[in-house]
Structure 1
Amino acid sequence: MEQYIDKLIGQMTLEEKIAQMQQISANMADKTLRNKFIEMGTIGSFLHVLGSEVGDYIDPTKSSRLKIPPIFGIDAIHGHALLKEATVFPSQLALACTFDDWLVEEIGYATAKEVCADGLDWVFSPVLCLGRDLRWGRIDETFGEDYYLASRLGSAIIKGYQKDNLVAACAKHYLGYGEATGGRDSYDTEITERYAREIFLKPFKAAVDAGCMTFMTAYGSIDGKPLTASRKWLTEILKDELGFDGFIVTDWDNYKSLVEYLHAAENIEEACVDGVTAGNDMAMFTHDFYDSTLKAVKSGKIPESTINESVRRILRVKARLGMLDGTRKRPSKSVIGCGEHRKLNYKAAVESAVLLKNEGVLPLKAAKKIAVIGENAVSVRAQYGDWTYFSHPDPKPEATEKDETYTLLKGVREVYPSAEIVYSQGYAISGEQTEDMFEQAVKCAENADTVIAVLGDNLDWNGEGRDIVNPILRGSQIELVKAIKATGKKIICVLVNGKPLVISELEKYCDAVIETFNGGDMCGLAVAKLIKGEE
């Protein structure tokens, strides 16, 4: 393989080499420029392309001189969830609650089959940052705060993704991204090298040992040095010391970030020189990368040997996936959202739910009338969390839920077919809270035998770019539970939330508390059966 790659690089022009290092997004605003890149037929990668559109991007490659296909990347953070028809699995934070390597590996494999069947090749997952500051918006994407657990489950899902060479995994965000000062996204991480090695590097070392094909650099910096421009962390430690032989991609528009946000470079060309010589092999989205890097090589600021090494790493991953010799195979599209994956997803939802409190109310074997209270009992958006077709690659306020998805209300209705199930919203996390809404929910609870209160947060209060000062229950959620408790009814609280929330006051008014985080398609059915004692 290496000899073939060396021969291929020897045939490439400088322009073709740098094109391999460029990744372009399908949803970039300048469609004319995007189409220009597509028509080149030599671009190394595209992202945010879904299967129905792949042909438009790959056809120009077939008529190019060397016919090197682009690698298509997608944010399959918990399933191939940017595609509506695909399986949406529980978030990484929810899966961390299973402590189940086998299950997480199987979820990785199922996701890889759906992504590959959709015509794509590369998943930007897993997130190996540690979730240690609850103010940070992206806690939901992590395997929690413990580096050992993150190492174990990260390795497992990487093995699942890359089984049968279906897709390349991507360990991100290297390094210390979640430890940024003040829980602020993309900010400086004030840690020493020793601390980084003892804690934050370990999941990434495990990823290298698991054979992860790609890494993604973090937006921020360690002690003032941007990771994107750190030769020490990218080349000397990751590539040389740990032996990583795949390729490194920047995060979204990181070269522009070096100029406009981190103020570490005067212009894009200087940022590209710093990033490429530090060890970045591919530029995500920064569309000025191609021209700027070409200019920098021609002026001697970047040695062509450095470009050759990056291209070699990119082609190595493409070769491992069978993209260079025509051996790439894909599962049938019928695997997307298939019954086998739904069963796996249900098992994951059952195992990821955590019983935090039970004062004799569970299991609830039977009831004549159950009141299901709460906005999150019917909100698929809240139940899914970030990185689904509702939110990415562009927000879709008009998107509708799949028929196969189980909200808590739908699950309770199915699991208790002989009981009368009544629903009331009760509170609003983000929208307008009305007095009638509150009073109707209390009245609904008064007339029931048991109350299932579904509380939590939504994407206004967690996810990328949504860091918060106080991880609390918003709106009148706690006041509503207190009012319901005053009616004398037993309250089973189900939390549907992206990140851990402060519930010290809430739990005093609840007879049982179940944490689900973002539980995916089958969460509502799984939790309803857990409540009844059928699981």
Structure 2
Amino acid sequence: MRLRSRAAHIGLAVTVTLSGLALSATGASAQSGYQDPHAPIPARVADLLKRMTLEEKVGQMTQPAVLNMQGDCQWSGGTLVESCMKHVLTDLKAGSVLSGGGETPPQNTPKDWADMVNAVQKYAIDHSRLHIPIVYGVDAVHGHNNVLGTTKFPQQVGIGATWDPQLSEAMGESTARTVKATGPQWDFAPVEDISRDTRWGRYYETYSEDPYLAGSLGAANIQGLQKSGQVAATVKHFAGYSAPFAGHDRTEAHLDPRYFQDTFLPAYKDAVDAGALTLMVNSGSVNGVPAHASHYLLTDLLRRQWGFKGVVVSDWDDVKSLQTAYHLSDSYAGAAAIAVNAGVDMAMLPPGSVDDYVNGLIADVKSHKVSKARIDEAVSRILTLKFRLGLFEHPYVDSSQADGIALGADKDLAVRAATESQTLLKNDGNVLPLSTGLGKVVVTGPSADSIPNQDGGWTIQWQGIPDGVNDPGVTIYQGIKNLIGDHAKLVKDAGDAVDQTKDADAAVVVVGEKPGAEGVNDNETPELAADQQKLVDDLQATGKPVIVVVVAGRPLALGGAADAKQLLMSWLPGSEGGTAVANVLFGKANPSGRLPVSWPKVAGDEPMFYQQLAGTNSGTSSSYDPLFGFGAGLSYTSYAVNDVSVSGGRTVKVSVKVANTGSRDGDMVVPVFAQQPVSRILVPPNRLVAYTRVPLKAGQSTTVSLSFPLSRLAVTQGDINGSSTRSVVPGQYKIVAGGKSADLTVH
């Protein structure tokens, strides 16, 4: 979801006073039909649906941005304006509202949010014939990231590096509490796209290049987000969004059927199976068909094959794109008909599109381009969502509690997440961990003391924290200073940093990239900037220990910095990232992160992924030849896998004997791969089929038990057209963990 505006900082003009937060939306004392909270949800939906007019139904399928009701009711943001609320909520009868990146209330505090959402909700209920509450959506993609003072978790790619579904679930629970306290009930997260091209500007929003790792982490996050029953999660962006041509956001994805089915679809399927209540559509096109126009994706596959029962929402103004970008129709009404008939239930709409969508869809029904049955189907799903979230009984939140619940919540969890994500890639000579007794440590680099760089895009505003806005957090310099006090010397000038390192005990140089989002963040040559490479080179020339910390949302080609003897990938570690980085650098925590993606040597090696199929590879670097491979990551201790055993069946059971052979406690990530030595079709040389994190004391050994469904070995059969369905190929497999393997026979 995207936004092309800024939010003006002016005061709220509309407030709401609540004498009771648990009243029904109608306020009726005698309840019947859809008003009866004890009636089954299907019966309530059916009763309400039969009372609704066509205009009311189409309104439910409409999700205007809150910008449509703020300030100038176009792009200014600011105070809610009653005349515009009337137009959107009463005249057009909108059933949902969203705040995208930067679409905030004027003061942007948790209480300010709760007051704004309550005001929108109260107006919708009080000024509609049937008193149907709205469902309010927000992009809370690494915590409740739009709101000042909330805890910002690491971005998704960092969570991928943790290999920790339990952590992902806990983050979902935390985010849901904060989101709900501020009013919204619908979170547009998680992203289940697969990261295979670092040029793409949304790479950091994904979990992994591996379908199973991405799917399992996303499924866990969904379970956490929806555990309370008060917030809906969203699977996005269905499907194939992360493979745009040459990494340019929202361009055509060329995905052959086998690659699409075996690599891109499984993570979305895992999220659907986890019970996600909503799904957002890919803004781009796949193999010549815009996803918003794909009946195959949105109905045949999603509904009929996968059994998805929830709400399908468009991405930002993408119904209009069917007319203006893809030219599938010469009118907005025609575009709306195409999208709705394909399977879109609700349209996300910026200023300038709301009236056109509503009027166009009404005209489509009257001209029989969209059936009344299809409208009823979509509206039934939307109403079901609202009943499931309890909005008819509990439409409001207590804004007086919002600040207490949301401000600085769950910092310990954010520290844990950032710590687990720290991925140590080089530690020549075991220089790390550093001693807290060092006399002088120079801390330098553009991201050494920068919360905006740590948080990344989708923080406060779409492209990240804007200049002049201070959002609390612990920078890497502050984290180091908290451990060693004034022995930490922050030096911003590159030349001064080199000079001061000459008489220092060590230097920590924090490099990376600036925050950004979507197409603005696309990068044809994702590499460390030349001035940052020079800074690393000059610091290393002093002969002192130099620890390179990379703060970035994707692997960057490092140039000469790849020769650094100590290299830590910190990803985008969020507001508490400074504490996590410092704890790892100084041995308060043992690094346990493992790359969820492959790290190219040079910017030209794109796309890169460990499941690259075999070839004759006549050119240099034509085979899988990364700087750091998928799953790479070091520790301050050492681990061993001593044995692997397997028992077959519909569920494959794997036992792995592991040991901590070093002198420090640590968490061992144990990935289990499947190999197929002989196959009738090309299959990846390794496929992740199971994994776990194991806490091990120094010297401890144990046996861990894992399992996976045999169906995880399925591949698309057939010839070049890849037209066959996925199935498991009988034959011999090897199940591999840590260099040890066991044979598996599939009959």
Name 2:44's counterpart in structure 1.
4
CA deviation profile, 1:23-58 (whole Å, cap 9, x unmatched) = 011124644756520344831111116323113311
Residue 241 (structure 1) shift: 1.0
C-alpha displacement at 1:465, in angstroms?
A: 3.4
1:326-375: CA deviations, max 9, x gaps?
Answer: 48878942221345x11111111110110011122111012101100111
* 1:483 and 2:554 aligned: no
SS in 2 for 1:476: helix
Deviation by residue 1:311-339 (Cα, 9 ceiling, x = unmatched): 00111111111113448878942221345
Q: Which residue of 2 aligns with 1:401?
A: 471
Name the residue aligned to 1:502: 557
| Structure 2 residue aligned with 1:71 | 135
Q: Secondary structure at the match of 1:500?
A: coil
Structure 2 residue aligned with 1:178, among 224, 238, 242?
242
Aligned residues: 517
- Distance in 1, Cα, partners of 2:482 & 2:204: 28
Distance apart, 1:444 and its partner CA: 2.3
Cα deviation, residue 503, structure 1: 2.2
Superposed, which structure 2 residues align to 1:5-404 within 5 Å? Answer: 5-28=45-68, 30-31=73-74, 36-40=87-91, 42-48=93-99, 50-63=113-126, 64-285=128-349, 286-287=353-354, 288-326=356-394, 332-333=401-402, 334-339=404-409, 341-359=410-428, 360-365=430-435, 366-391=437-462, 396-402=466-472
Q: Return the alpha-carbon distance in structure 2 between the equivalents of residues 373 and 65 of structure 1.
A: 61
- Segments of 5+ residues of structure 1 without an aligned counterpart are 426-436
Q: Give SS of 1:233's match.
A: helix
* Alpha-carbon distance, 1:511 to partner: 2.6
Aligned amino acid, residue 423 of structure 1? L
Cα 1:464–1:159, aligned 2, differ >3 Å: closer, same or farther?
Answer: farther
- Structure with the bigger percentage of strand: 2
Task: Work out the CA distance in 1 between the residues paired with 2:130 and 2:343.
Answer: 25
What is the DSSP-based 3-state SS (H/G/I as helix, E as strand, rest coil) of the residue aligned with 2:202?
helix
| Greater relative contact order (CA < 8 Å, ≥ 6 in sequence) | 1
Mapping 1:445-464, distance limit 5 Å: 445-459=501-515, 463-464=518-519
Aligned-pair RMSD on alpha carbons?
1.9
Q: Deviations over 1:467-493 (max 9, x none)?
A: 111110114011111111111111011
Asked whether the equivalents of residues 537 and 560 of structure 2 are also in contact (C-alpha less than 8 Å), the reply is: no
Residue in 2 aligned with 1:430?
none
Distance in structure 2 (CA, Å) of the matches to 1:92 and 1:351: 13
2:433–2:585 contact (8 Å) kept in structure 1: yes
Q: Does 1:523 align with 2:594?
A: no
Contact 1:40 1:60 in 2 (8 A): no
1:424 aligned to 2:491? yes
Amino acid at match of 2:561: L
Q: 1:534 aligns with which of 576, 579, 588?
A: 588
Distance 2:479 2:250 in 1: 38
The Cα shift of 1:190 comes to: 1.1
Q: Do the aligned residues in 2 keep the contact of 1:45 with 1:73 (CA within 8 Å)?
A: yes
Task: Report if the CA contact (8 A) 1:368-1:420 is conserved.
Answer: yes
Instruction: Please tell me whether Structure 1 or Structure 2 has the larger radius of gyration of its CA atoms.
Output: 2
- CA, structure 1 residues 367+400, in 2 after alignment: closer, same or farther (shift >3 Å)? same
Partners in 2 of 1:195 and 1:89 — Cα distance? 32
The SS at the match of 2:44 is: helix
Distance in 1 (alpha carbons) for counterparts of 2:134 and 2:528: 45
Question: Contact 1:231–1:277 (CA<8 Å) still a contact in 2?
Answer: yes
Q: Deviations over 1:53-93 (max 9, x none)?
A: 11331122222211111100000011101001211000100
Cα distance in 2, alignment partners of residues 270 and 149 from structure 1: 39
User: In the aligned structure 1, how far is the partner of 2:92 from the partner of 2:131?
Assistant: 8
| Superposed CA offset, 1:373-421 (max 9, x none) | 11101111111001111446x974331121xx1101111110112x522
The letter of the residue matching 1:422 is: K
Q: Per the alignment, do residues 133 and 330 of structure 1 end up closer, same or farther by CA in structure 2, a change over 3 Å counting?
A: farther
Structure 2: where are the runs of 5+ without partners?
1-40, 75-82, 105-112, 590-747
Contact kept, 8 Å, 1:151 with 1:203, in 2: the verdict is yes
* Residues 85 and 123 in structure 2, CA contact (< 8 A), matched pair in contact too: no
Within 2, Cα distance between the matches of 1:202 and 1:177? Answer: 14
Q: Is the 8 A contact 1:390 1:397 kept in 2?
A: no
| Aligned-partner Cα distance in 1 for 2:547–2:259 | 42
Distance (Å, rounded) in 1 between the aligned partners of 2:439 and 2:348 = 56
For residues 220 and 13 of structure 1, what CA distance do their matches in structure 2 show?
33
Is this contact kept in 2: 1:122–1:169, CA < 8 A? yes
Aligned-partner residue type, residue 45 of structure 2: I
- The letter for the 2-side match of 1:382 is N
TM-score, length-scaled by structure 2: 0.67
Sequence identity of aligned pairs in percent?
A: 35
Q: Given that residues 272 and 292 in structure 1 are in contact (C-alpha distance below 8 angstroms), is that contact kept between their aligned partners in structure 2?
A: yes
Equivalence for 2:27? none
Aligned partner of 2:595 in structure 1 is none
Separation (CA, whole Å) in 1 of partners of 2:165 and 2:477 = 30
TM-score by length of 1: 0.93
